[in-house]
Amino acid sequence: MDRFKNVLLFAGFGCFLFSVLLSALYPWMITDARRAEATIREVASPVSPDFKLLKDAYPVEFVAAFRNAERALTDREIALGKPDAAARAASDEAWVDAYTDALRRGRNQYISEACWHCHSQFVRPVANESVRFGKVRRPEHDNNALQRPVLWGTRRVGPDLTHEGGRHSNDWHVAHFANPRSVTPGSVMPTYKWFFRTGFVVARTIDPEVAEREGLDPKRAYNLPGLYGTKQEAEAALERVKSKLPSALEAEADRLFIREGRGPNATGLSVIAYLQWLGTWEPKAETAQ
């Protein structure tokens, strides 16, 4: 009996040591050594449409958060400003700068928050995991700087995030960080209050005629994009909005006002950018010699 217990003990220690060794060697074994590892800047081009939408939704924090973001023109800004070829080229370069910055900071924050403890990034080629979590990725898909260190995770308290990019909207991620149970009932994920900041926003009440016709509260209002650090900054933004109203909509100015607001800070925007990137990168095809 004692001999049997000793065998089990040594077998257990042996399996543990083997798993530790495999965890150390396997990331190196799957690296595609035939190609140079892609840098973060290389995987940041082309820029994700979801990342560009973050500037539309949170323009003030976005510009303050990411490198050269003030020169990155959104589709709306391009349509209104009609920039020349040089400005468009500068904008394209600025988008890559900002996205590179966001992905690096988002990945680092994801690691520091220990998100990988509960969310794996490894669809195993067994047990029909691809049906639940998406296709099994090939070694070349992990051959980039954003996959170093490898973030396979230790368990799946939450879903696997290998293919998270594009599964949910930016707004969904904002709501999820603010209160996970608001979008995923029964979730055990904690709230991430430090991903947000408070400030002041320009708001607009709904059209009184629409409110009456639809039976809505005429005091209901929605926020315009932009969260400002001080009330003075918000008031200046309010005046800018009023000055840009066409003459046919001058009456709309009376429905604009300032109120307190809350939105994602640079940390929150960076993590959202990283999550929306996961699973979206495809390595460039090798050209025939």
- Which is more confidently placed, 167 or 155? 167
Predicted local confidence at residue 195, as pLDDT: 98
Does pTM top 0.85 for this prediction? yes
pLDDT in tens, 48-69: 999 999 999 999 999 999 999 9
- Tokens representing 162 are 């290998």
**Quick one: 171 and 220 in the same domain?**
no
Q: Is residue 1 part of a domain?
A: no
**Quick one: 143 and 259 in the same domain?**
no
Q: Supply the range of the domain harboring residue 246.
A: 196-264
The CATH number of whichever domain residue 101 belongs to comes to: 1.10.760
**Quick one: 46 and 165 in the same domain?**
yes
**Quick one: 78 and 158 in the same domain?**
yes
Q: Is residue 239 part of a domain?
A: yes
**Quick one: 98 and 204 in the same domain?**
no
**Quick one: 105 and 173 in the same domain?**
yes
- Which is more confidently placed, 9 or 261? 261
Total domain count, the chain: 2
**Quick one: 153 and 237 in the same domain?**
no
Q: Is residue 182 part of a domain?
A: yes
**Quick one: 172 and 85 in the same domain?**
yes
Q: Is residue 28 part of a domain?
A: no
**Quick one: 186 and 83 in the same domain?**
yes
Q: Is residue 23 part of a domain?
A: no
Q: Is residue 10 part of a domain?
A: no
Residue 29 has pLDDT above 70, yes or no: no
**Quick one: 127 and 238 in the same domain?**
no
pLDDT in tens, 79-92: 888 889 999 999 99
Q: Is residue 289 part of a domain?
A: no
Q: Is residue 282 part of a domain?
A: no
**Quick one: 178 and 203 in the same domain?**
no
Residue 26 has pLDDT above 70, yes or no: no
**Quick one: 176 and 227 in the same domain?**
no
Rounded average pLDDT over 212-237: 94
